[in-house]
Structure 1
């Protein structure tokens, strides 16, 4: 089982969109650890949305689809629909 996930940082007011086939708690722990990369800019990332997929390629395709929106408001509407 793989997941598409969206994290939000309140301090940055930014979303991070990714996918993983590992346990989501472990993936978030890695985002919150000391590392280089986009999510290293903040330590308050929270999971705000996820979708399950049967394969890595499906989860990655959905990640690319959402990233191609290039719209913070569209991402917010997606999250709100699951509210």
Structure 2
């Protein structure tokens, strides 16, 4: 299972788009532990959106597609859409 995800940092008021094959929870734990230079300053990160794919190439393609939009509005529409698989408990 491969996932494309969107995280949000309240302190930076910024979204981060990524993909993973280790599971979103584990990947976010790594982001929040400071493993990634590009997300270290935005800790803590909250999961806002997740899509699941059968292959790594599909997940990476979706990540690139979202990033190419260069649009906060597009990201926020995705987060609030019915296709959002992620629900915070």
- Tell me whether the two structures share a fold, i.e. TM-score over 0.5: yes
- Tell me if the contact between 2:2 and 2:55 (Cα under 8 Å) persists in the aligned partners: yes
**What residue ranges of structure 2 are gaps of 5+ in the alignment?**
85-89
**Of Structure 1 and Structure 2, which has the larger fraction of its residues in helix?**
1
Runs of 4+ in 1 over 3 A off after TM superposition: none
Give distance in 2, aligned partners of 1:50 and 1:34: 21
**What residue ranges of structure 1 are gaps of 5+ in the alignment?**
none
TM-score, reference length from structure 2? 0.87
State the aligned residue count. Answer: 83
* 1:13-32 pair list within 5 angstroms: 13-32=13-32
TM-score, reference length from structure 1? 0.93
Give distance in 1, aligned partners of 2:28 and 2:34: 12
